[in-house]
Amino acid sequence: MRALFAALLAVATGIALAFLLLPIAAIFLRVPPGDLVGALGHNVTRDALLVSIKTSAVAHAVVLLIGTPAAYLLARRRFRGRGVVLTLIELPLVLPPAVAGIALFAAFGRMGLLGDELDALGVQIPFTQAAVVLAVAFVESPFYFRGAIAAFEAVDGTLVDAARTLGAGPARVFARVALPLAAGGLGAASALALARGLGEFGATIIFAGSLQGVTQTLPLAIYAQFEQDFDTALAISALFIVVGALLLVTLKLYGWLRFASIFRSRFAASTSS
């Protein structure tokens, strides 16, 4: 019985990990290391890499700047229908990329909801890098939101109370207490969101098109390469995975550490009597 259960757990874990990691490992078997480096040589790759970096950076910055305070507000305030709002925020996760792309058109396209307003301002979003940024932000922000809200909710309320009795206004409380204590969680969430943003494909190709050097991000480039040079496509994919992994591991580990340290101090504090 006991042995059986232990075995069961072990097996399940084995399967799960194998299933998730095997495919990723497999790609590398398909790609000679040489190509990995070679891929970087391609000007397509370079352009795409630049576009990807540029757009993800901007999108991510925006998401952090707007998402963090928003998450803070949603985590602190208790209002009716809060649960629903928190769920709606996650809705974009459900959308198939194609639908997301269409949705973005429907909102910011020339024929879209804000089309006239934007026209009036002489702004044309679709098929520009702005469009890429929007698309990326749209798909990655729910990830950041989830994590950030959780992180802020985890901040001990009495610490906030303490800060206030010490004369700190909301802004100070946010900057000196909430932010540093949530740092770990925010870091992790940010990493995840960034990663997801880098991988964004469906919404981008529809809403922003795939213009080399303008709107063609790495994922789009990979797709485009299928038609031109298949091996390069594979190589870029592999390259991509490496980048993504590094990104996640570094930022996540950073996050873990922060969390760990904070957790430790909490633990000590709580067991100290």
Partner 1 sequence: MASLRLDLSLPLRGFDLELALEAGPETVALVGPSGAGKTSVLRAIAGLARPARGTISCGDEIWFDADRRVDRRPEERSVGFVFQEYALFPHLNVEQNVSFGGARPDRLLWRLSIEHLAKAKPSELSGGERQRVALARALARGPRVLLLDEPMAALDPHTRGKVRAELHDLLRELALPALLVTHDFEDAAALADRVGVLVEGRLRQLGAPAELLGAPADPFVAEFAGANVLEGIAESGPDGLTRFHLDGERIVYSTDEARGRAALVVYPWDVSLARRAAEDSALNHLEGEIVSLVQVGNRVRVRLPFLTAEITASSAERLALRPREVVFASFKATQARLLPAD
Partner 2 sequence: FAAASLTEVLPRIDKSPRYSFAGSDQLAIQIQQGAPADVLAAASPKQPELLFRGGLLRKPVVFATNRLIVLVPRSNPAHVRSVYDLRRTGVKIVIGDGTVPIGAYTRQILDALGITAEVTRNVVSQETDVKGIVAKVALGEADAGFVYLTDARPVASRTRSVALPTWAQPAIRYEVAVVKASSRPLVAKAFVRKLLSKRGRLLLKQAGFGLPRQP
Ligand X SMILES: Nc1ncnc2c1ncn2[C@@H]1O[C@H](COP(=O)(O)OP(=O)(O)OP(=O)(O)O)[C@@H](O)[C@H]1O
Instruction: State which of positions 127-146 bind partner 2 (CB under 8 A).
Output: 127-128
**Is the CA virtual torsion 38, 41, 42, 47 positive or negative?**
positive
Residue 227 touches which of partner 2, its own copies, ligand X, none (CB < 5 to 8 A by kind)? partner 2
Stretch touching its own copies by CB under 8 A, among 39-47, 119-127, 155-163, 229-237: 229-237
In the complex with its own copies, which residue's Cβ is closer, 61 or 245?
A: 245
Residue 212 touches which of ligand X, partner 1, partner 2, none (CB < 5 to 8 A by kind)? partner 2
Residue 5 touches which of ligand X, its own copies, partner 1, none (CB < 5 to 8 A by kind)? its own copies
The reply on whether position 158 binds ligand X by CB under 6 A is no
Interaction residues for ligand X, span 243-272 (CB under 6 A): 271
Direct distance between the N- and C-terminal alpha carbons of the chain, in angstroms, rounded to an integer: 40
| Least spacing, CB of residue 158 vs partner 1, in Å | 4
Q: In whole angstroms, how far apart are CA 133 and each of 130, 147, 222, 229? A: 5, 21, 19, 27
The reply on whether position 212 binds partner 2 by CB under 8 A is yes
Residues in Cβ contact with 201 at an 8 Å cutoff, skipping those fewer than 6 apart? 97, 217, 219, 220, 223
In whole angstroms, how large is the CA radius of gyration of the chain? 22
Q: In whole angstroms, how far apart are CA 266 and each of 83, 178, 194, 236, 269? A: 28, 15, 29, 44, 5
Interaction residues for partner 2, span 64-103 (CB under 8 A): 102
The reply on whether position 257 binds partner 1 by CB under 8 A is no
In the complex with partner 2, which residue's Cβ is closer, 72 or 108?
A: 108
E strand or H helix at 205, and its extent? helix 202-207
| Least spacing, CB of residue 109 vs partner 2, in Å | 5
User: Token match 């939101």: residue?
Assistant: 145
Q: How far apart are CA 178 and CA 20, in angstroms?
A: 35
Stretch touching partner 2 by CB under 8 A, among 19-27, 126-134, 187-195, 260-268: 126-134
Q: How far apart are CA 92 and CA 140, in angstroms?
A: 9
Nearest to 101 by CA among 251, 18, 204, 216: 204
Interaction residues for partner 2, span 169-198 (CB under 8 A): none
In the complex with partner 1, which residue's Cβ is closer, 145 or 152?
A: 152
- CB–CB of 182/159 below 8 Å? no
In the complex with partner 2, which residue's Cβ is closer, 195 or 208?
A: 208
Interaction residues for its own copies, span 2-41 (CB under 8 A): 2, 4-6, 8-10, 12-13, 15-17, 19-27, 29-30
Q: Which residues bind ligand X (CB under 6 A)?
A: 271, 273
